[in-house]
Homo-oligomer: A and B are copies of this chain.
Amino acid sequence: MIYFDNAASSWPKPGGVTKAMENYLNDFSANPGRSGHKLARQAGNVVLGTRQRLAALINSPSSERIVFTLNATEALNTAILGSVETQDHVITTTMEHNSVLRPLNYAAKQGVEVEIITCNRNGLVDPDKIRSAIKQNTKLIAVGHASNVTGSIQPIEEIGEIARGADIPFLLDAAQTAGAVPIDVQKQNVSLLAITGHKSLLGPQGTGALYVADGLTVNPLKYGGTGSYSELEEQPFEFPDYLESGTLNGVGIAGLGAALSYIEERGLSEIINYKKNLVYQLINGLKGINNIQIYGHVNGVETVPVVSFSVSGCDSSEIAFILDSVYDMAVRPGLHCAPLAHKTIGTFPEGTIRVSLSVFNTKDEVAAFISAIKEIVKDMT
């Protein structure tokens, strides 16, 4: 199997991930932060280690402001629903994933004013449009760092500046970028950062995190046992406990820690360059095939290793089906949980074929994919 669905979930994982999870499960697996005995302390140390690695990755001033979640969706819901109230105004874009648009849609029903800035056909937002949209009651600017459809990276430095200037929290959805693009929450003026562990961070499913800037707070989505302040019937207001009710996914967090250690050792810039070369090869190859249209990936715009394309007159799902069944290659066709993004780039409702690469893909795999697409297109058109 040649696996090109890394934007949905990356596979394979670095060898250390399985090992770390196995160790956690077999050697201790007690409840981190709940009891004082050796095994609970070992589990707690593993969780702390991953928290610190994540903090370092995004340059968070402290690890306490990294809150573990089930996935990026939970982080985004906490950031959005924990920040805005009836009559507040929120700014977002048409390139967002349903994990941003659906909680905002719910918020809108509760009386929150949601303003969705239309991006251009390449999926890029104009920061000036965000600046102009700011109102007295704007309480949040929520933007996806990179589109999961086109891969285009938004001009977040400019958006961060605008948000800081207006003193509005800036929520960055890093589901596609954590582990794929350098992130510095301090330099980039990011107030809330939603992370998933199982995509470019190469960790296991069931791991995610929300960074909350110092001095900022959001209301919890969930209340419950935190291991700390057991005597209080109210949620203790101390990070990260305040937003981390219930037992954490310790074993998953152990795996994520090992994945982060792999990224540290190999080096993020080396990983980025490696994948850039594959994307370059892929796009060049696809451009040589008749009737193929690639979305985004315009000159001068940085991207993550996600390439969406369509073939005139051919159904994307059928191509994906042939790729899977005949060529043993996994891609993802359709709308990728981002209907407005497809409307923006002009591919709604038919969607696109999305190829998303990982650091474990190779030039040979990309070459094989291009040959396969050539054959399929030839047969279908």
Q: Is A206 an interface residue (CB 8 A)?
A: yes
Nearest CB to that of A35 among chain B residues? B332
- How far, in whole Å, are A25 and B198 apart by their CA atoms in the complex? 11
Chain B contacts for A255, CB-based, 8 A: 25, 251
Which listed residue (B223, B233, B332) contacts A339, Cβ 8 A? B233
Task: Indicate if the CB atoms of A221 and B222 lie closer than 8 Å.
Answer: yes
Looking at the assembled complex, report how far the CB atom of A35 sits from the nearest CB atom of chain B, in whole angstroms.
Answer: 4
Looking at the assembled complex, report how far the CB atom of A241 sits from the nearest CB atom of chain B, in whole angstroms.
Answer: 11
Task: Indicate if the CB atoms of A245 and B204 lie closer than 8 Å.
Answer: no
User: Contact flags (1/0) for A309-323 with B, using CB distance below 8 Å?
Assistant: 000000001001101
Task: Indicate if the CB atoms of B335 and A230 lie closer than 8 Å.
Answer: yes
Looking at the assembled complex, report how far the CB atom of A69 sits from the nearest CB atom of chain B, in whole angstroms.
Answer: 8
Which listed residue (B26, B37, B208) contacts A320, Cβ 8 A? B37
User: Contact flags (1/0) for A228-243 with B, using CB distance below 8 Å?
Assistant: 0011111100000000
Chain B contacts for A5, CB-based, 8 A: 30-31, 34-35, 37, 39-40
- How far, in whole Å, are A247 and B70 apart by their CA atoms in the complex? 8
Task: Indicate if the CB atoms of B30 and A77 lie closer than 8 Å.
Answer: no
Nearest CB to that of A206 among chain B residues? B249
Q: Is A38 an interface residue (CB 8 A)?
A: yes
Task: Indicate if the CB atoms of A222 and B252 lie closer than 8 Å.
Answer: no
Task: Indicate if the CB atoms of B70 and A246 lie closer than 8 Å.
Answer: yes
Q: Is A361 an interface residue (CB 8 A)?
A: no
Residues of A1-50 contacting chain B, CB below 8 A: 1, 3, 5, 8-9, 11-13, 17-18, 21-22, 25-26, 28-31, 34-40, 43
Q: Is A171 an interface residue (CB 8 A)?
A: no
Which listed residue (B34, B73, B332) contacts A222, Cβ 8 A? B73
Chain B contacts for A3, CB-based, 8 A: 30, 39
- How far, in whole Å, are A102 and B223 apart by their CA atoms in the complex? 5
Nearest CB to that of A251 among chain B residues? B204
- How far, in whole Å, are A211 and B76 apart by their CA atoms in the complex? 24
Q: Is A72 an interface residue (CB 8 A)?
A: yes
Which listed residue (B8, B29, B340) contacts A12, Cβ 8 A? B29
Q: Is A143 an interface residue (CB 8 A)?
A: no
Looking at the assembled complex, report how far the CB atom of A321 sits from the nearest CB atom of chain B, in whole angstroms.
Answer: 7
Task: Indicate if the CB atoms of A330 and B30 lie closer than 8 Å.
Answer: yes
Task: Indicate if the CB atoms of B246 and A249 lie closer than 8 Å.
Answer: no
Q: Is A336 an interface residue (CB 8 A)?
A: yes
Which listed residue (B220, B224, B251) contacts A76, Cβ 8 A? B224
Looking at the assembled complex, report how far the CB atom of A378 sits from the nearest CB atom of chain B, in whole angstroms.
Answer: 22
Chain B contacts for A8, CB-based, 8 A: 30-31, 34-35, 40, 247
Looking at the assembled complex, report how far the CB atom of A80 sits from the nearest CB atom of chain B, in whole angstroms.
Answer: 9
Q: Among A76, A101, A245, which residue has the most Cβ atoms of chain B within 10 A? A: A245
Q: Is A285 an interface residue (CB 8 A)?
A: no
5 of the cross-chain contacts (CB-CB < 8 Å) are A31-B205, A99-B245, A103-B223, A204-B252, A221-B221
Which A positions have Cβ atoms within 8 angstroms of B?
1, 3, 5, 8-9, 11-13, 17-18, 21-22, 25-26, 28-31, 34-40, 43, 69-74, 76-77, 97-103, 105-106, 196, 198, 204-208, 220-227, 230-235, 245-252, 255, 317, 320-321, 323-324, 328-340, 348-349
Other contacts beyond A77-B223, A205-B252: 5, CB < 8 A? A31-B205, A35-B332, A38-B324, A102-B233, A233-B340
